Amino acid sequence: MPHPLGTQPSKIIAVHLNYPSRAKERGRIPAQPSYFLKPPSSLSGTGDPLVRPAGCELMAFEGEIALVIGRHAHRVTPEQGWSHVAWVTAANDAGVYDLRYADRGSNLRSKGADGFTPLGPRLLDAATLDPAALRLRTWVNGELVQDADTSTLLFPFGTLIADLSRLVTLEPGDIILTGTPAGASVVSPGDVVEVEVGDPDRELSTGRLRNTVTEAALDLADWGAMPRADTALRADAWGPGHLPGPALDPGLADALRSVATATLSSQLRKRGLQHMTIDGVRPTRPGDTLVGTAHTLRYLPLREDLFQKYGNGMNAQKRAVEELRPGQVLVMDARRDPTAGTIGDILALRAKMRGAAGIVTDGALRDSAAVAALDLPTYYAAEHPAVLGRRHVPWDTGVPVACGGALVQPGDILVGDADGVVVVPPDLAGQLAADSAEQELQERYIAEQVAAGEPIEGLYPLGPARQDAYRRWRETRS
C-alpha cells in the first residue's frame, strides 16, 4: 500500500536519540540532537513487507513519530517550530545492524534500503495536536513492546525543527523521524510489527502501521560490504533484556536448585564474599525454590513533583515487568521501606506470563494472598495495602541495585529457598554448585554418623582422620 503522503519528500531526517528511556539503554545522554538521512526511496506504507536482506540476522524495528513539514522552515525559533508541521503519523525506522559497520554514522545501507521507512496509515492534523501529549506504541506479533509519550523528550519537536533549520531549509513534505523509546529490538521473517501514534485523551489515532518481515528472495551481490555480526553487535541490536536464548544454562540452573542457600552462603564466605544474602525477605511459598538471573528495578524516595513525571503511564515499574524474559528474576530495590507496596497481583501475574523465574523485593507486597496463590516464587519484606506512590518513585531498570543490603547487578544469579535468597556471581556459579554439592554430600555422611551415636569432634567439620571412611562411604553412593 502506498505511504500516505502521496508525493516523495526531498529528504527524510532521523534523530539518533530523543527518548530518555532509549538514551539510558544506550548509556549516554546527548547534550544536543544528532541526525542521519534516509533516502526517500526507503518509504513504504502499511501492509508493505519489511524485507530482510539475504545473509542478515539482525533486522530491527524502531517505532517512531514522524513529522511532515507543511511550510518552509528556515532559521525558525523553537517556539515557531511546531507551526511548520502539517501532519503527524506513525513510522518504523527499520534497519539491519549487520551492515551498520559499512557506513558508520551515515547508516545508508543499514537503514536506507527500499521499504525501510514505512509510514501511516493515517495523517493527523498537527494543528489539532499538543506535541507534548502524543503517545507512541509498538507491538510485535500482538505483544506491546514500546509505550512512551512525548512529555519528557530530550529535544521537543519545536527544538528539532529550529535546530535543523539553522543550516538546512526544511521544505513542504519533508519528514523528520523523531527518535524511538526503549524496547526496540530484533525481528525475524514472519514477525508482524505494528506502530500507532495518537492523543489518547482525545481519541485521535493514526491507526496501526502494520508490516510483516520477510526474507529477500535473492542473495546480496558480493561486490560491496557483506553482512557480518558478532556477540557485541547482537547484544546491541537485541537491546537490554531481549537477547534470545535461555537466561541461565538449564544444567547449571538444576545444579543450583539442588543445593541449599545455606550451603551456597558457606561456599561464598569461603571465597571472601560475606555480603551475598538478601536480608529481611521471606517467601510467599516456603516450599518453592528460586533460580534465575536478575533483572533489576530501582525505586527512589517519593518526591511528589517528580512522581508526576516518572510515576505515571508506562513507568519504570511497568517497563521492568514488560522487559522480563523467561528465566529472569525481577529484583527490586525499595530501600528496605516496608510501608508501601512495590508490586501487586496484576503485575506479578504479568511477570509470570512473561516467563519470570520469580520476584524479590526488599519492600512490601500488595495483594499478598493473591500473589502467594500464583505459581511464582516471590520474596518480600512485608505486606502493605498502600500503592507504591505512598513512598516510592519508580526510577529506572537494568542498573545495579541494593536489595536487602546486597549489591545485585543485572545478570547476577539469584537462588532462593525457605531460608532466603543469595546472590551468586555468574562467573563463580559452576564451581559454587559443584563445591556445594560436595559439601552437602559430606554433611549427609556426617549426619548419618551423628545419628549412629558418633561424637562430633573430628567429624564436623570432617577432619583428616575421617577422610578415608568418608571416601568409602561416598563410593557406595555413586
Q: Where are the domains of the chain?
A: 12-238, 250-429
Arithmetic mean of pLDDT over the chain: 92
Under the banding of pLDDT at 50, 70 and 90, the label for residue 324 is confident
Under the banding of pLDDT at 50, 70 and 90, the label for residue 461 is confident
Of 21-25, 49-53, 166-170, 295-299, minimum mean pLDDT range: 21-25
Tens digits of residue pLDDT in 394-427: 998 878 999 999 999 988 999 999 999 999 999 9
Given a cut of 70, whether residue 244 has pLDDT beyond it is: no
Given a cut of 70, whether residue 255 has pLDDT beyond it is: yes
pLDDT at position 398: 79
Contact at 8 Å (CB) between 175 and 68? yes
Given a cut of 80, whether residue 442 has pLDDT beyond it is: yes
pLDDT at position 243: 58
Given a cut of 90, whether residue 319 has pLDDT beyond it is: no
Mean pLDDT of 232-253: 76
Tens digits of residue pLDDT in 63-86: 999 999 999 999 999 999 999 999
pLDDT at position 320: 87
CATH code matching the domain that covers 250-429, chosen among 3.40.50.1220, 3.40.50.720, 3.50.30.40, 3.40.50.300: 3.50.30.40
Given a cut of 90, whether residue 192 has pLDDT beyond it is: yes
Under the banding of pLDDT at 50, 70 and 90, the label for residue 234 is confident
Given a cut of 90, whether residue 474 has pLDDT beyond it is: no
Tens digits of residue pLDDT in 132-183: 999 999 999 998 999 999 999 999 999 999 999 999 999 999 999 999 999 9
Tens digits of residue pLDDT in 342-400: 999 999 999 999 889 999 999 999 999 999 999 999 999 999 999 999 999 999 887 89
Q: What percent of the chain has pLDDT over 90?
A: 73
pLDDT at position 217: 87
Q: How many CA atoms lie within 13 A of 104 on its CB side?
A: 1
- Indicate if 250-429 has the same CATH topology as 12-238: no
Given a cut of 90, whether residue 36 has pLDDT beyond it is: yes
Of 46-50, 243-247, 256-260, minimum mean pLDDT range: 243-247
pLDDT at position 478: 64
Under the banding of pLDDT at 50, 70 and 90, the label for residue 201 is confident
pLDDT at position 309: 81
Mean pLDDT of 445-472: 89
Given a cut of 70, whether residue 240 has pLDDT beyond it is: no
CATH code matching the domain that covers 12-238, chosen among 3.40.50.620, 3.20.20.70, 3.90.850.10, 3.20.20.80: 3.90.850.10
